[in-house]
Amino acid sequence: MLVLRLLNVVAPAYFLCISLVTFVLQIFLFIPSMFRDPSTTPLLSPALLHGALFLFLSANALGNYILVIQSYPEDLGKGLNLGEGAEVVADWLDGSRSPGSALPSTHFCRLCARVTQRHDHHCFFTGNCIGRRNMRNFIMFCLYTSLACLDSLVAGMAYISAALSMSFANPLAFLTLLPHSISQFFSGALLSSEMFVILMLYLWLGIGLACAGFCCHQMLLILRGQTRYQVRKGMVVRARPWRENLQEVFGKRWLLGLLIPMLNVGSDYCRQKEK
């Protein structure tokens, strides 16, 4: 438990550090050196267009990340008659809480010490539980993080290709880049800055693939009307049309949520059902 609590603090700091490094490399290294074209007008310059795209992806990833953090689990369970403070913690820890006092898949997280409605999982990179209210923001965070990593990966490969005079036309070139660069670095033929960018390429690839995998897996569960917690516990879920499952999570203003970070409005569907 101590290790998990430590990871709950270190993982968000690690993610923010990687985000800051990515922002600095993009704005101060990749864009000024790789996207210069004097023949184009300033409004249509590749540097400006690429910078605007990267800032859009980064703003959405960071904005949804903040919204996931701010949506505390205790807010997700309001109105469930779960109790407050030490009372609910003690009841859920010793199993004395009546099953009828909570909705299905409501879960008490020992790391958060709070109750989450429609609990999915505890995300260490946000230090928070993912539930009904912040599920949409978590999916948007994963989506835009993967896109930002892909954008940084492409820009970084263009920079390395120009700096080292190499081509990535052969798919094996990227796979052999790291071991070849390590040998060149220790022989003194490769600069520290170039070696750092190469290491970041593989980090962006790993984070991008992981976030894309999380996003796709989460979308599959949402279409089926399930959460990871329900799948792990073997809970039976009432079959519903996939459109209703999507509306419950993304709400009616789903298109607006794709463009700008905003609080999850998926509860609108629940309110209509209650009325």
DSSP state of 121: E
Give domain limits for the chain. 1-36+46-73+119-274
Cα of first residue to Cα of last residue in the chain, in angstroms, is: 42
Instruction: Report DSSP state, residue 29.
Output: I
Give me the catalytic one of 123, 129, 142, 215. 123
Tokens 């700096």: give the residue: 163
Q: Residue 36: its pLDDT value, please?
A: 65
Q: pLDDT by residue for the chain (275 residues), tens digit each?
A: 778 888 888 888 999 999 999 999 999 998 888 766 555 556 567 888 888 999 999 999 999 999 998 876 554 444 444 444 444 444 444 444 444 444 556 778 878 777 788 889 899 998 888 988 889 999 999 999 999 999 999 999 999 998 888 888 887 889 899 999 999 999 988 899 999 999 999 999 999 999 999 999 999 999 999 899 888 888 888 888 988 998 888 887 777 778 888 876 544 444 444 44
Among residues 66, 81, 169, 167, which one has the least CA distance to residue 117? Answer: 81
User: Is residue 216 flagged as an active site residue?
Assistant: no
Distance from C-alpha of 101 to C-alpha of 56, rounded to nearest angstrom: 43
- Indicate the helix (H) or strand (E) that contains 144: helix 135-164
Q: What pLDDT score does 40 carry?
A: 55
Predicted TM-score (pTM) of the model is 0.84
What is the three-class DSSP state of 18?
helix
Task: Report the pLDDT value the prediction gives residue 103, as an integer from 0 to 100.
Answer: 55
Residue 171's H or E segment, with its range, is: none
pLDDT of residue 273: 44
pLDDT recorded at residue 274 = 40
